[in-house]
Structure formats: structure tokens, C-alpha cells
Structure 1
Amino acid sequence: MSDRFSRIMGEYAASVRWEDLPPETVHEVKRRLLDSVGVAMAAFTEDSPKAARAYAYEWPVTSGATLWGTAFIAPADVAAFANGVMVRYLDFNDTYLSKEPLHPSDVIPPLFAVAEWRGVAPREFVTAVAVAYEIGVNLCDAASLRRYGWDHVNYVGIATAAAAGRLLGLSVEQIEHAISLVAVPHAAMRQTRAGELSMWKGAAAANSARNAVFATVLASKGMTGPFQPFAGEMGFFRQLLAGETFDEAALASLVEKRPPRRICDTYVKFWPVEYHAQSAVDAALQLRTEIGDPSRIASIHIDTFKAAYEIIAKDPEKWEPRTRETADHSLPYAVVAALLDGQVTRRSFSRERIADPTLRKILKEHTTLQEDPELTRGYPEGIPNRIRVMTVDREEFVREVRFPRGHARNPMTDEEVVQKFRLNVEEAFSPAQADLVIDFVFGLERQTALEDLAGLLRL
């Protein structure tokens, strides 16, 4: 049933062992798990996570995986979805930018669910996460889905299926079938991220991951997937990439079965906004410190790069957001909120803040934006944004940022990752409970069961 690419990914997933992992890869997996748990718990009471949990509560079982924050056990694919929605909801989990953008930590909830359900040792979970990052990040380098109207979460499903197959001890051929069973039947459209954004924006990756868990378990029971899922006559390349194939040079680490390191190339988010706006928020907050009183602001101009313009600026809805999902994917909204408030937190995207008439007037009437070809040339190595503010007394302030805090070229320290976690869970956990989670995660390879961590997350 193989084609060249399903075989490359299947063989890679089956080949990696715990002993192969570089220390820096293990450390980054721990940081991403802690970060994912933190952003998930910060979103626990929000509308989309509540809806996903309400769905999950319809499927009680005695053998499955825990819904984070509760003692409820659901089937692994259902838990993967509910926990994945929480991780993704605030748009605060990690990112990778290349030909295709990705939130690679979207693979963590489904792999956690499979590992907990099957009682897999935590160090094997760490290995699976490293494998999923390696595959997902390389796929982003290999071809752009967005260019042809398809969503990046298709890569989440493929990476998750390969790594989940490894967790379940599947053969290379079975992993290939799992990849095919998620790639062919479940192609996700980019419409999820066009115009006014709905709750599905934060659920699409979780759904792709849920489909991957379903596909992998099905493959483990003997189900075969469509032959030649990528290179076939009606396969991935023709349908999703308009006949383009993967750049094989981008898959070299998979072909050569190198120890997984690509997680080190991904970025932890410092601000809860779509990643292309991270540097703009950095620049705006620096300007706010210089300007002082925001009532001095007369006009705001944003120079940005092509990808940011296309993804988070060009749609008219980004200039008059009516949902949280649209606001945290709006470059101009994020900049205006940062300049007015002197901070950007998850509360910056509350219904009340989005509806504020002063903010909306400045956004609509006093803010302009354009693509700058010079900045476009600086992407994806960096994410260059330039903010220019003119005050009522005609004083001009300008700031440009290319590598925001958390970028691979400007990484957050362990202390900053831990502080982000503490701030995210402060309304959910006591300081003592937060300490227990931090200690467990940073000692993950010495732990005996992931269900113990799930127990520490109960509210």
C-alpha cells in the first residue's frame, strides 16, 4: 500500500528509541508539556472547552484517558479532542513557521491520551512527542497547504498518527495504514480561518488529532487504509497541493533516521495572540512604555510581512472583530489593545474588551496597515513587524521587532516558561498544586504513569 512518503514516515516513527533522544530534545518536550497543561487549565471554564467536555461526558468508560481538570475517564479519542480544545483555545500554545505554520504541541493531548489509556511509560510518551514534532515540523518545511486552501491541521493528524502508532507498538506497515486512514478521509479546509472566526478555530486541530487516534487504533485492529495516500492518482498531492509534491530535502532527517531535534526549532508563545502578531505586540508594548499616557495616541501605522497580512490582517472582520477567535487572530486589534492597555493577556479578548467603543474607534478610524516587501523578505527566518505611532502633539515613535521573546532565535528561559505556567493556572491550582505539576513534568522520565499527572490536574 506504500508510497515513498508514507513509508518514510512509518519507518521513522518505528525506528526512534528513548535512548536516541538528545538531552535538549527531552528537555524541550518537558517544557512543551508544562506549557500545554498551563494554557489548557487557563481555558478550562471557557465556552469551547466546556462544549467539548459536555460532549465527552456522554461517553463514560472505565478504561480510557482522563479529561484534564476532572476525574472523568473517556475513550482515548474523545479525551484527545476535549483536552486538545483546551490546549488550543487561547491561541497560547507553541508555534512553528515555515512554508506552512503549525501549532506542533497540538500533538501532545492525543499522545498523552493514548499513552495514559495503554499504560505506556512516560519516557515512551516523551519519545512519541519528539517523533511527532519531527514529522510535523518537517512537513511544514516540505509544502504549504494554506496556499491551496487547506488547513495546517492536516499535518497534525499525520504526525499524531505516526507517533501514536509507535506508542501502540505497530509495525511500519500498520503505521502507514494509520497515516493513510487519517490523511485521505479527513482533509480539513482552510475556511476554518477565513473571515469571522468561530469556536471551531480552536477545535480543528483537536479534531484532526482525534481522527488520528481513531485511525491508529483502527489500523492496530487490522484495518487497511487507501493505497498510495500521498502519491496516488487522487491522493494528497493532487487534491491538497494541486500536484505539488513534498520537497524531499525537507524530510532529510526522517529519511536518514536522525535523532529527533526539530522541537528545538519551534517557539513558545509569550503573548496569547496568533504567532505572526507576537513581534507586533512586543513592539507595541515597548512603544507604550515610551509614550506613557495612551490618550496621547493620534494614529497608529503597522508595517508587516505578507504572511501576516494574509492570515491576520486582510479580512475586514479583523478590523471589526466580534468573537474572541477573530480578535486573537487580528494583527491590528492586538496592536491597539497592547498600546491602550500596556499589556496583552487572555482578558484582552473578552467580549467586554472587544466591544469597547474607544478601542473599536481607534482600530477602525485611526489605525492603518500595509505589507512592506523588506519585511516580507525577513520571513520566515523572523517575523518582522514595525509599529509607528503619531501623538496628538505630532511626536513620532517607531519600533521594529523581528525575533520576539519565545522565538527560537530569542528563546524563553526555563524560569519564564515556569512563570507563564504559574500565571495560567493561578485561578485553577493552589501554589502547592502548581509546584507538584512542575516537579512531575521536569522529572517526567523518572515517573511511572501519566495517569498520576492527570490526577494532579484535577480542580
Structure 2
Amino acid sequence: MTVATMTLSETLAVFAARTGYDDLPEDVVESVKMRVLDTLGICAAAAPLDTSRAARRWASDQGGNPQATAVGVPDKLPASLAAFVNGVLAHSLDYDDTHLPSVLHPSASVIPAALAAAEMHHTDGRTLIRGIAIGLEVCVRLGMAGYDEAAGNSTFFENGQHATSICGAMGGAVAAAIVAGAEHSIVDVLGVAASMASGIIESNRTGGTVKRIHCGWAAHAAVSAVELVRYGLTGPPTVLEGRFGFFQAWLHGNYTPSAITDGLGDNWCVPGIFFKPYPANHFTHAAVDAAAALRRSGIDLDSIDRLVLGVPAPNFPTIGDPIEVKRSPETGYMAQFSGPYAVVAGLLGGGGLEVGLDDYTDALARDPARRSLMQKVDVEIDAECTAIFPREFPATLTAHLSDGTTVTQKVLTTRGGPARPLSFDELNQKFRDNAQRTMNEADAEALTSACRDLDGHQDIGAVLQSMTRIDPI
């Protein structure tokens, strides 16, 4: 079998088998450590949600062999169910990392799957890092294969499909196979996982909390696929490009194979996945930064007559329309999708790196002072920002002052992305803000240290032990 005759899943399997820990670039290893810390911090903060408790109770009621740690569950669960719980929590706050321009959230599926498999198979930290790195790479490349360059959008999303969980099941399955020592079976694992990959995003439009389980179900599918193959199930080698395969079923054959294969193993996507410094829709992040820059410049809020937020045209319907609603969010969740609220949050400052979870509450969304300031914010389409989108989510912010002068701040790159990366210490600020809600100081510090030195750990279960004490069921 030559490269020219290999199927796409065979190509990915060879990439996985040939890429050892020592082959990983240093920035990939560092990125994985940070993503594990970030994901666990989000899980800690999401643990008290009603949907998180529902996921834990459902998983615990299933019974089975104690194999892996689930956040907030005192006793270990079967690995697939632990992956489910942790995947649900990782995606429940809209705070998980994002790849652009595919708009995937890769870590929320891949990391819970890999952690569960690592505990089940007693894998060391180096192998865990290797599995996560390769799984994230596979997830992102499958997502990019479904990105329509001409349309500037993901074909998955155009079809109402949640690319995050669909591609996450596939990447998570590869990660879990590596961690389980089963990279020889990756072709079959992908073939089985493809029949379990799923997710539709209608809840983004008309409501419901089902989206919160998508990454959990993807992680569950990933671990299950590896175990089913271990018991003898097989999958088609042409599962990705075949006549009735993954891309035909999801995208009606409209995909770009070269996005999967070009530079595979040489040009890594993993370090370029954007961390989310703020717990809100990614389209609003540059607005927070622009407003914070105005605040730091010493602008007097009482002197502001009007604020104009310029955003890319594709972002406008999400964070600027209808403007009456965006200026008066009723809940913290609605505030996460409001351009005017992002501006006000940045102007007033808060926790985290500029703002944190405490700045997106129902009470603050309805706060009269904030609403008064939001009434001064207009959201407009900006040509310069539109030209930069979607590889960045830029914004401009112009303050019209009572003395007739104007002050403008432009934020043309997205904080947490390759152009403005976060250091481990900066990301740790976000982790600590999340973790302090449900973890004690000693446990949070120990988890930070464990993730920083993840490649030196032999027992992943010991790393995760403190997570069982979080908001128990």
C-alpha cells in the first residue's frame, strides 16, 4: 500500500502510528498541556449547572465497571460514561477553545475521551499528550475539509450540523485509540465512530439545552468505538471519502480532501486553536478588548454620548441584531451574544483576563446602569473587519464624546489565537477563576502543577482525583 493508494482513514492511521511523543513539536506539547488545564477548569465551573447534574445522574444510573473519573461523581464510572459526563461539562459554558475558520471546539470532545481511555488503560502522561495532540489534529482537519472557502463558512453549519461533535467523535476516537495502545486499529475505529458521530444545532435557534450534551456524546462515542473494535467490530476503510461515507452523508460530497492530507505531520493545527479568554460568544471578544482599551486610556464614562461597535458582516446578526434586544439582554446567556453588553463589560472591567463568568449573570444583564450604557451602543458592519473575517473575529469601537471629539480603538486580531497567544500563566488566571467556584485552593494549585508537568505523570487517575470532590451528585 502506497500513499497514492491509501484511503483517507488509512492516511490518518499511518500518521498516528508514525508520530511518537518525541516527534511532537514543543509548541504542540505545550498547547496540549494548556488545553487539558483549560478544559478541566471549565468542567469545574460548569459542574453546578442543572444540565451537568442531569448528565452525572444519568451516567451513574447506568451502572457498570468503575474505570474512569467523572467530574463531580465520587465513584469511578465506565470509561465511556465518564467521557460523556466530562464532555458535557466541557462544552456547557461556551467557554471552550475554538478553531478558526472551521469554528470547531475540538478539546471539549477529544480531551474527555482521551482522559477516560487513559485511566481505563493506565496510560502515562506522555502517551496521553500524544493521543490528544493527534486527536485534535484529526478533528480540526476533518472540520477544515468541510469548510467552504468561497462561502466563508462551514458546510456542516450550513446544513444544520454541529461540526464540533461530529468531527469531535472522530478525533476523540483516534485519541482514545492511541491512549489505549490500539493505534493499529485506527482505520476500524474511525469506521465505527463515523456511524456514531452526530449533532444538530437547531437549539441555537429555538431553544433547548441539548447542545450541551453534544461533546459528551461525541466523547462517549469515541471511547465506545475503540472498545467495540477491541471486541471484534470492524469499519470500512473508505469511511471518509466513500460513496456512502462520512463526507457524502454529512456534506453531500462537498468537501476538500487536501485539507486532511496536506502537511499532515509537518504543519500542526493544534497550536493555532484559539483559547477563549472570555465566557461569551467568540464574536464579542474583540469588543471586550476594544472597550477595555478605552477604559485603560482614561476615558470618562460620563463624557460618552455614543459608542459605535464595528464588526464583520457575518457577525452582525449574532451580536447586533435586533439592536433593541441586544441592548437589553434578559439573562446572562443572552448577554453572551450581545455586542452592546460586551462593550459595557469591557468598559467596566471585571474578573478573568478582562471579564469572567461573574460578569455574565442574569442580575448584571438587567442592571439599570449597564442597560443605560448599552443604550448608547450602536452595532454596525465594518468593511475592514469583514475583510479580515473569518480567520480572526475583529472589531472597532468609536466613542463619540460630549466635547465633540472621537476616540477609536481597533482590535483586528483575536486574543487567545496565534497572533495574540496566551501564556500558560495567563491561561492559569482563567483556570483559577473557573476552579475557585467549586474547588479548594490546594486542589486547584495541585491540578495546575499536574497539567504543567503532565508528561511526567504515570497515573492519570491521581491527577483527576480532586475532580471527584466537585459539586457531588
- Of 308, 320, 325, the match for 2:315: 308
Name the residue aligned to 2:243. 233
Give the superposition deviation at 1:261: 3.3
Tell me if structure 1 keeps the 8 A contact 2:16–2:183: no
> Is residue 58 from structure 1 mapped to residue 61 from structure 2 by the alignment?
yes
Give the superposition deviation at 1:247: 4.1
Name the residue aligned to 2:398. 388
Change (3 A) 1:62 1:171: closer
Give the superposition deviation at 1:24: 2.4
Name the residue aligned to 1:191. 202
Runs (5+) with no aligned partner, structure 2: 147-153
RMSD across aligned C-alpha pairs, in angstroms?
2.8
Structure 2 distance, partners of 1:183, 1:167, is 19
Q: For residues 255-404 of structure 1, what are the structure 2 equivalents within 5 Å? A: 258=265, 261-290=268-297, 292-309=299-316, 311-314=318-321, 321-322=329-330, 324-340=332-348, 344-357=355-368, 359-360=370-371, 363=374, 365-391=375-401, 394-404=404-414
Runs (5+) with no aligned partner, structure 1: none
- Give the TM-score of the pair, scaled to structure 1: 0.88
- Give the TM-score of the pair, scaled to structure 2: 0.86
Change (3 A) 1:226 1:14: same
Change (3 A) 1:439 1:450: same
Structure 2 distance, partners of 1:394, 1:196, is 43
Structure 2 distance, partners of 1:66, 1:361, is 46
Structure 2 distance, partners of 1:196, 1:297, is 36
Give the superposition deviation at 1:236: 3.0
Kindly provide the CA deviation profile for residues 398-432 of structure 1, in whole angstroms up to 9, marking residues without a partner as x.
21102233221111122212232222222333333
- Between the two proteins, the alignment pairs up a number of residues equal to 451
Tell me if structure 2 keeps the 8 A contact 1:20–1:259: no
Change (3 A) 1:200 1:407: same
Name the residue aligned to 2:172. 160
- Of 71, 75, 79, the match for 2:78: 75
Report which stretch shifted further, 241-250 or 203-212. 241-250
Give the superposition deviation at 1:65: 0.9
Name the residue aligned to 1:422. 432
- Of 123, 128, 138, the match for 1:125: 128
Kindly provide the CA deviation profile for residues 102-159 of structure 1, in whole angstroms up to 9, marking residues without a partner as x.
1222111121011111211221111100101211222333222223332222111111
Kindly provide the CA deviation profile for residues 266-300 of structure 1, in whole angstroms up to 9, marking residues without a partner as x.
22222122223222211122123446554544433
Tell me if structure 2 keeps the 8 A contact 1:301–1:369: yes
Give the superposition deviation at 1:260: 7.3
> Is residue 142 from structure 1 mapped to residue 149 from structure 2 by the alignment?
no
Identity %: 28
Tell me if structure 2 keeps the 8 A contact 1:304–1:384: yes
Structure 1 distance, partners of 2:304, 2:212, is 33
Structure 2 distance, partners of 1:325, 1:180, is 37
1:276 maps to amino acid: F
Structure 1 distance, partners of 2:117, 2:267, is 20
Kindly provide the CA deviation profile for residues 222-253 of structure 1, in whole angstroms up to 9, marking residues without a partner as x.
22346743333343333322431224155323
1:270 maps to amino acid: P
Structure 2 distance, partners of 1:369, 1:230, is 41
Structure 2 distance, partners of 1:231, 1:13, is 19
> Is residue 7 from structure 1 mapped to residue 10 from structure 2 by the alignment?
yes
